[in-house]
Amino acid sequence: MDRIEFFEEKLKGEPQVHPESPPGVTENAPICERFPQYGNYAKTEGRFLYERIVSPDCYNSARVATRDLDLPTVAGIAKVCYKTVLDQGTLEWRGFIKQFIGAVVCKLMEENGFVKTGVKKSVPHPNFTKGEVYQLP
């Protein structure tokens, strides 16, 4: 069983319940403040992706990836993000999209009490390279 299969198997047993949402997690105001270069994108053509990333199931997957599996946080949602962009059909998968995903993940994790470790690791998904590992203080 490879790491992705292990991760997917682990999630099957995890309750898919989001902790109480901190203020602003489902609004895009925090992303605009922390990453102003993505604010307009999060409100317009990238809104569908933003909303998917901040959903409870994506948060739970990201949390398990970084906390339990010692993977970059984005590893928990890489497959979902890639599929969401492809299914949407109007956007081309490119570096900007991956950077946007990283920014939203950063803000989501920070809003839920996680901090960056300064460690970047490989993401076990063919359409991503490296991602940040987060931890609870």
pLDDT for the residue numbered 90 = 87
Does the reported pTM lie above 0.85?
Answer: no
Domain boundaries, the chain: 3-11+23-135
**According to the 3-state scheme, what is the secondary structure of 33-94?**
HHCHHHHHHHHCCCHHHHHHHCCHHHHHHHHHHHHHCCCCHHHHCHHHHHHHHHHHCCCCCC
pLDDT tens digit sequence for 60-105:
999 999 999 999 999 999 999 999 999 998 888 999 999 999 999 9
